[in-house]
Amino acid sequence: MPWSEPAISRQQLSVAARLERLQVGRFHRRFITLVSLGGWFDLYDLFMVAYLGAALQESHFLTLHQFSLLVAAGFLGMFLGTVFFGVASDRMGRRSAFVVMLLVYSAFTLAGALAPNAQWLIASRFLAGVGIGAEIVVIDTYVTELVPSGARGRFVAITQVVGFTSVPVVALLSRVLIPTHFLMDGWRWVMVIGSAGGVLAWYFRLRLPESPRWLAEQGRDREAESIVAALETESGTRVAEPAPAATSEPGVPAERLSMREAFSELWRPPYGKRTAMLIIFQALQTIGFYGFANWAPTFLLKRGVPLLSSLDYTLLIALVAPLGPLVATFTSDRLERKWTIAGMALLIALFGLGFAFWREPALIVFSGALLTLCNNCFSANFHAYQSELYPTRIRATGVGFTYSWSRLSAALTSLLIGALLVYGVAAVFALLGVAMVVVAVVIVTLGPRTNGVLLEELSH
């Protein structure tokens, strides 16, 4: 029997239309603040490894090979988290998945801070990675479903602006704490601070609403209606048409897809082409993005820059980390996202060569800062873009599955970079540059336009 796409119910269309009509106001600002705060600890934990890596090697707690395994273990955990817990978000809801994943990575980051040996640290990093990987997917999906189409790119970029302020913070804390020893080694305190996000989990649980789009998809029409009505009251939006009779009569849940059915749908028109494009895109973009972000201090150390000078340089570079997504808050909904992503990919390849070959400290910091600016503007745009390409019923599954290829790629790339460093930093950046050029070609030739289009329209 030929496959036909499930019909969108009247209640789902009503919820989508009413969310689209909401004026961006107090609710959206509160929502994005809370989600961004959770994302802040997520990115702190993600980038922390780069700043601890040089110190862990200098102190001989880890060898270069063990550091490669540490980075790879984190990304392997993220691979599993994005696949399996991305799917779970389509079943348990966006809010519940957001809170659970926050608890998971906070707990295992704390366990890593107490690691007695390299093996413990690598294992705890793997388990923390499960939570980090899933959290990123859930945040993108959550924001995309609750924000009007004309502001989607800007609000996803805002989560990244807030999140990337964690990069200079973790760089500064590493510079200050790593040389110290108060009760335990300074690098352990950097990890303890990263685990603090878990204490906010219950507050998030009470203050964040579930996604009305997800509730309507599950047939929980009364809950969806209640949340949308509350948002309309808070924003002062007048309902132009009466809501369906979902408040007086329970809706019929959409047939829940099994994991196999959900993954099968990813390969059916019109999603098959998008899935293939995102897999190639994700497998390659992470080579350029995390190839620099997770290894910058180690690259400098291998070029003969002393540990503390390396941390000083990367601290200066980290100061511009929030500026990339800040640029995206002004451009993401004005410039077509697919073209911006492609342009940023080419600039990343170009500025990477400068970081690899320039020797003067000022030029190293300048090229590293430009590379970071483009990397993070690129990140803000593609996180908004990837969440627009699938319908609500498989959105987190689709984003999680395709995004997981970036985590798997990052795990393998970490081992490859460790091996390539034997031949020098230039060899590594040649690999990074080629990967980002291919990323630009793939997104231009295969990626659809999405700016300002209703999610339900993009699903057909």
Q: How confident is the model over 378-400, as pLDDT tens digits?
A: 999 999 999 899 988 888 889 88
For 152-172, write each residue's pLDDT tens digit.
899 999 999 999 999 899 989
Distance (Å, whole) CA 369 – CA 292: 11
What is the C-alpha radius of gyration for the chain, rounded to an integer number of angstroms?
22
At 1, is the pLDDT very low, low, confident or very high (cuts 50, 70, 90)? very low
CATH number at residue 80: 1.20.1250.20
For the segment 169-196, the average pLDDT, to the nearest whole number, is: 89
Pair 161, 322: CB distance under 8 Å: yes
**Is 1 inside any structural domain?**
no
**Is 260 inside any structural domain?**
yes
Q: Which two tokens stand for residue 163?
A: 């999140």
Number of folded domains that form the chain: 1
**Is 179 inside any structural domain?**
yes
**Is 2 inside any structural domain?**
no
**Is 148 inside any structural domain?**
yes
**Is 439 inside any structural domain?**
yes
**Is 4 inside any structural domain?**
no
Pair 74, 192: CB distance under 8 Å: no
**Is 280 inside any structural domain?**
yes
Residue 263 has a pLDDT of 83
Name 424's Cβ contacts closer than 8 Å, sequence gap at least 6: none
Parent domain of 323: 10-458
For the segment 234-261, the average pLDDT, to the nearest whole number, is: 56
- Mean pLDDT across the chain: 84
At 435, is the pLDDT very low, low, confident or very high (cuts 50, 70, 90)? very high
Which of the two residues, 456 and 336, has the higher pLDDT score? 336
Distance (Å, whole) CA 242 – CA 214: 21
Which of the two residues, 240 and 203, has the higher pLDDT score? 203
* For residue 202, pLDDT beyond 80: no
Q: What percent of the chain has pLDDT over 70?
A: 91
Residue 363, amino acid: L
For the segment 224-233, the average pLDDT, to the nearest whole number, is: 90
